[in-house]
């Protein structure tokens, strides 16, 4: 049992209940949500459905889940607050396990160039792409980057996100990478979200090291990584193993150094070409390998062996007009857990809606709506190494909940746009209440 559950003193109310019962000596819960359906994402059917159910939180954790008719006694006497959800659906709070959300500026002009026929690789080789965002980040202050990034986080929350990963990687020297990571840490302090920071110093070779990739990798390993590890700014390290990024052997050295610092690893692999990055990362027990359009099916057993999650990023596939799809059928058959994420970044995936990624994962990659929902909950938790704490609705896990005005959970992947989120609950507290304009609500 997590320690928080034993904390008898932490009986705070959410303060947003529609009606409130009397506190009694045997009161069991802080908040009880009743008359709802639950997609627990645990159990035998794909959604782990509990119909006509209820869920209770205490001290920030899920304390009870079940059918309404199993709820013994008077609910009012059991909980400090009780909220009637009138048939809405509860899912685990969504988890966006791969984002580059903290940056300065935007790249709409490159979007226009690509629409005229320039490729992402051509733009990158001409000094644009990631490097144009590096210039914007280096020219911006920490406060400016913070101010530009905060609304992006708020947009993510409006689509049900309660936990997300954010990578550095647009600073590409120690001072500027630390600047980005400090912004990420401030966002984690100032918002109710759980934010897991990742160091992506090996995103691309900065201009001052042009043609000297090995020398830059040495700086990443000998200077940047030790400083960032010393300051405890990250929990994981990522790299971009690609023709326009780092070679397989350079990437291997970075992952090896990260492991030596006790950090988890993950990798952008096989996005634009087959560099064998995914299998290499799996050999370092990477939490996830991400993108995978060019993954060879022969390399899938290595992912199984390494216990890696395959993170699918349909936004980048869509924006780049890519035609080669990740080998979803083979991944599914091999039992590799598939997560779905926004890859929110200013170049290849300027996307702030994780629900649209669920839709694209279905339409473009052939996932089922249940797989797409697993991709932003249970499997995304695993991609962050947080599966014991979040990602499913189970007793003892964090009470991170998204409450939706939908009739079936498949609607979450079916509809693009709209505002179906009714409530967002983080650690048992409601952090977004209804976005509805209906009278009386
Ligand atoms: N894959 C991506 O999707 C981003 N980096 C990467 O390796 C793109 C980042 C950008 O273009 O700014
Ligand atoms: Fe990415």
Distance, CA 100 to ligand 2 centroid (Å)? 6
% residues pLDDT > 90 (the chain): 88
Per-residue pLDDT tens over the stretch 101-142: 999 999 999 999 999 999 999 999 999 999 999 999 999 999
Kindly state whether residue 439 falls inside one of the protein's structural domains.
no
Q: Looking at the structure, do residues 346 and 412 belong to the same domain, yes or no? A: no
Q: Nearest residue CA, atom 11 of ligand 1?
A: 347
Query: Mean pLDDT, to the nearest integer, of 351-372?
Result: 98
Pocket of ligand 1 (CB under 6 A): 100, 129-130, 133, 240, 268, 271, 316, 343, 345-349
Domain that holds residue 40: 3-92+392-433
Per-residue pLDDT tens over the stretch 225-249: 999 999 999 999 999 999 999 999 9
Q: Looking at the structure, do residues 219 and 120 belong to the same domain, yes or no? A: yes
Q: Is the pLDDT of residue 207 over 60?
A: yes
Query: What is the structure's pLDDT at 189?
Result: 97
In this prediction the pTM is 0.93
Q: Nearest residue CA, atom 1 of ligand 1?
A: 268
Q: Is the pLDDT of residue 11 over 60?
A: no
Q: Looking at the structure, do residues 54 and 119 belong to the same domain, yes or no? A: no
Query: What is the structure's pLDDT at 26?
Result: 61
Query: Mean pLDDT, to the nearest integer, of 193-212?
Result: 97
Distance, CA 389 to ligand 2 centroid (Å)? 24
Q: Looking at the structure, do residues 274 and 212 belong to the same domain, yes or no? A: yes
Q: Nearest residue CA, atom 3 of ligand 1?
A: 348
Kindly state whether residue 438 falls inside one of the protein's structural domains.
no
Per-residue pLDDT tens over the stretch 34-68: 999 999 999 889 999 999 999 999 999 999 999 99
Q: Looking at the structure, do residues 52 and 67 belong to the same domain, yes or no? A: yes
Q: Looking at the structure, do residues 62 and 100 belong to the same domain, yes or no? A: no
Q: Looking at the structure, do residues 400 and 317 belong to the same domain, yes or no? A: no
Kindly state whether residue 342 falls inside one of the protein's structural domains.
yes
CA 19 to the chain's CA centroid: 34
Per-residue pLDDT tens over the stretch 63-92: 999 999 888 777 778 899 999 999 999 999
Q: Looking at the structure, do residues 139 and 254 belong to the same domain, yes or no? A: yes
Q: Looking at the structure, do residues 123 and 82 belong to the same domain, yes or no? A: no
Query: The CATH number of the domain where 423 resides is what?
Result: 2.30.40.10
Query: The CATH number of the domain where 131 resides is what?
Result: 3.20.20.140
Kindly state whether residue 15 falls inside one of the protein's structural domains.
yes
**Per the structure, how many domains does the chain have?**
2
- The preferred substitution site among 126, 198, 345, 349 for testing ligand 1, maximizing ligand atoms within 8 Å of CB, is 345
Q: Looking at the structure, do residues 101 and 164 belong to the same domain, yes or no? A: yes
Q: Are 4 and 59 in contact (CB under 8 A)?
A: yes
% residues pLDDT > 70 (the chain): 92
- Of 362, 383, 404, the one marking the end of a domain is 383
């Amino acid at each position: 049992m997590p320690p928080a559950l034993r904390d008898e003193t932490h009986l705070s109310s959410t303060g947003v209940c529609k009606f409130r019962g009397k506190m009694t000596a045997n009161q069991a819960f802080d908040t009880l949500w009743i008359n709802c359906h639950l997609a627990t994402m645990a159990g035998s059917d794909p959604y782990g459905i509990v119909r006509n159910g209820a869920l209770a939180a205490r001290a920030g954790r899920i304390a009870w889940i079940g059918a309404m008719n199993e709820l013994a006694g008077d609910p009012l006497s059991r909980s400090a607050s009780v909220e009637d959800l009138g048939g809405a659906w509860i899912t685990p709070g969504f988890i966006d396990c791969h984002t580059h959300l903290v940056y300065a500026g935007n790249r709409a002009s490159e979007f226009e160039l690509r629409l005229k026929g320039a490729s992402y690789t051509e733009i990158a080789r001409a000094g644009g792409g990631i490097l144009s965002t590096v210039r914007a980040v280096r020219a911006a202050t920490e406060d400016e980057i913070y101010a530009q990034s905060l609304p992006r986080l708020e947009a993510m929350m409006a689509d049900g996100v309660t936990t997300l990963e954010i990578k550095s990687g647009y600073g590409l020297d120690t001072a500027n990478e630390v600047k980005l990571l400090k912004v990420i840490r401030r966002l984690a302090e100032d918002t109710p979200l759980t934010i897991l920071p990742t160091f992506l110093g090996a995103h691309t070779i900065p201009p001052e090291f042009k043609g000297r990739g090995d020398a830059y990798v040495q700086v990443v390993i000998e200077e940047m990584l030790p400083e960032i590890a010393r300051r405890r700014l990250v929990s994981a390290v990522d790299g971009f193993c690609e023709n326009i990024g780092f070679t397989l052997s350079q990437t291997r050295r970075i992952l090896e150094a990260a492991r030596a610092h006790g950090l988890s690893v993950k990798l952008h692999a096989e996005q634009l070409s087959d560099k064998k990055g995914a299998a290499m990362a799996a050999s370092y027990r990477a939490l996830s390998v991400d993108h995978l359009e060019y993954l060879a099916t022969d390399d899938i057993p290595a992912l199984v062996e390494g216990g890696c999650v395959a993170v699918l990023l349909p936004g980048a596939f869509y924006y780049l007009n890519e035609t080669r799809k990740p080998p979803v059928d083979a991944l599914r058959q091999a039992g590799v857990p598939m997560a779905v994420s926004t890859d929110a970044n200013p170049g290849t995936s300027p996307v702030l809606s994780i629900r649209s990624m669920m839709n694209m994962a279905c339409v473009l990659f052939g996932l089922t709506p249940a797989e797409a929902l697993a991709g932003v909950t249970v499997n995304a938790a695993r991609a962050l190494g947080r599966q014991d704490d979040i990602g499913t609705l189970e007793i003892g896990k964090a009470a991170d909940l998204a409450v939706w005005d939908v009739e079936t959970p498949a609607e979450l992947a079916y509809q693009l746009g709209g505002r179906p989120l009714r409530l967002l609950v983080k650690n048992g507290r409601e952090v977004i209440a209804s976005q509805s304009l209906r009278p009386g609500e």
